[in-house]
Amino acid sequence: MTSGNVETGHLSLPWPLRWLGPVATIAIAQLFGTSLWFSANSATEDLMISWNISAADIGWLTNAVQGGFILGTLIVAFGGLAERYRASLIFVCCAIAGALFNACFAWLSDGLASAMLFRFLVGLSLAGIYPVGMKLIVSWAPERTGQALAQLVAMLTLGTALPHLLRQMGADLPWQYIILASSGLALLGALVIHMLGDGPHLPKPRKRNDPANTSGERHATVLDAFRVNRFRAAAFGYFGHMWELYAFWTVVPLLVVNTMLAGEYPQLGVSGMAFGIIGVGALGCLIGGVLSRHIGSAKVALGALACSGICALVFVLFWRDLSAVGLGLLLLLWGATVVADSPQFSALSAQACPRELVGAALAIQNSIGFAITVVSIAATTALFDFVGLDAAWLLVPGPIVGLLGFAWASRQAIKTDEDPSAA
């Protein structure tokens, strides 16, 4: 869609997108695009048997995606891509590339080494889908960022869970076909964003050497966002949340297999239960988004982070003693709250940093957050091979550190507001 169409509002969109609205359209495209993220994890049992690999190896396979995502977000942030090119163009190109690399993983991988290479390239592509999707949301609905980003992250969560559902539905199919289904969805997401285009509420893409800047005044850089205490507070909370989130998502199938749930509810299947535990996070995000309109993003984010931390603590203390029903309800509550804080921390970050840095600031925040997930995923899955479910103890510090970091930076922000010279 051309920029002229964007300026006239969403009434000029093709009728299917006009019916959905821009925010729902971006959220659905995010669902399809991010189905690439954990597509390999839906085949955990098949891969462990076919390639004779361990839980720690599955962790490294997941970390290959995280590593690619980190590099990609650094390129987006420090290369200025988010500010020099249209967000919709970046999304479309990266979704197509991710679909291709994901298909290569399905058909060309013959072991862990080649699989990690293709998964790394998938992660590199996802850097142009997830944070750029957040920028697209801000470009269409800046007045309700918290609720709009909640819809986006809800779709990211469903996208993460979706391969498990595909695996459950196609239980008799080779795992490669399940992976290819994610590639097809990513291509559909690219088509949807191509039809939508960019929103009207962000500055136009900036050229690398902008001749309009003849005053010699220094352009703001992405690092300037971290000078803002309110941005730092949101970022610290987000980083603590990220320590827990992706490690939890990675080990959910292992939590199901190694507790009484798999034996008590065989009709649901491991993949079915994994889909439910991860996918319920979408509901948590949506509820959090509604609450943010009434009580603010900060209270929602901190409440969800505290609740997920309590769930982690209760699990590691009592998983041996809880009944199957109690364990299932606990994991569902954990799954709902572990991601509900994510869009609210991102909304707080987007609101705190200069408008022209939104895309780059969110990208660098994502980059640091996902670097943290590499450590937590590797540590948790490696420890799982030795101590089993007690490895979940490693997830508990994330929420604690996030809450303390947010509180400290918020106090600094209050001091700065009361006394500007205290910056």
Sign of the torsion angle spanned by Cα atoms 360, 4, 189, 343: positive
pLDDT of residue 28: 87
* Chain centroid to CA 303: 19
Name the burial class of residue 260, with classes exposed (0-12), middle (13-18) and buried (19+) by CB atoms within 10 angstroms of its CB: middle
Q: Return the pLDDT at 134.
A: 77
pLDDT value for 8: 39
Q: What percent of the chain has pLDDT over 70?
A: 83
**Helix residue spans in 109-228 (DSSP H):** 112-126, 130-140, 145-169, 175-196
DSSP helix/strand/coil, 217: coil
Cα separation of 214 and 232, whole Å?
Answer: 32
pLDDT tens-digit map of 155-194: 878 887 877 787 777 667 788 888 898 899 999 999 989 8
Segments of the chain with pLDDT less than 70: 1-19, 80, 82-83, 142-146, 170-171, 200-224, 355-356, 359, 413, 415-423
pTM: 0.76
Best CA proximity match to 137, nearest among 23, 288, 5, 11? 23
Q: Dihedral of CA 42/45/50/56: which sign? A: positive
The domain locations on the chain are 8-204+224-422
Distance CA 402, CA 284 (A): 19
Of 412, 399, 415, 344, nearest in space to 134 by CA: 344
Alpha-carbon separation of residue 285 from 66, 189, 262, 290 (angstroms)? 22, 21, 27, 9
pLDDT at residue 397 in the model: 96
DSSP assigned state of 200: S
Q: What is the pLDDT of residue 416?
A: 63
**DSSP-derived 3-state class of residue 329:** helix
Q: How far is CA 59 from CA 44, 247, 372, in A?
A: 10, 9, 14
Report domain 8-204+224-422's class: mainly alpha
Q: What are the contacts of 361-365 at 24+ separation with CB within 8 A?
A: 361/77, 361/222, 361/225, 361/231, 362/131, 362/134, 362/135, 363/73, 363/74, 363/76, 363/77, 363/82, 363/127, 363/131, 363/222, 364/73, 364/74, 364/77, 364/78, 364/222, 364/225, 365/235, 365/238
DSSP H or E stretch at residue 324: helix 324-337
| Structure tokens given for 365 | 């925040």
- Do 353 and 225 form a contact (C-beta atoms < 8 A)? yes
- Cα–Cα distance measured from residue 421 to residue 72, given in angstroms and rounded to the nearest whole number: 37
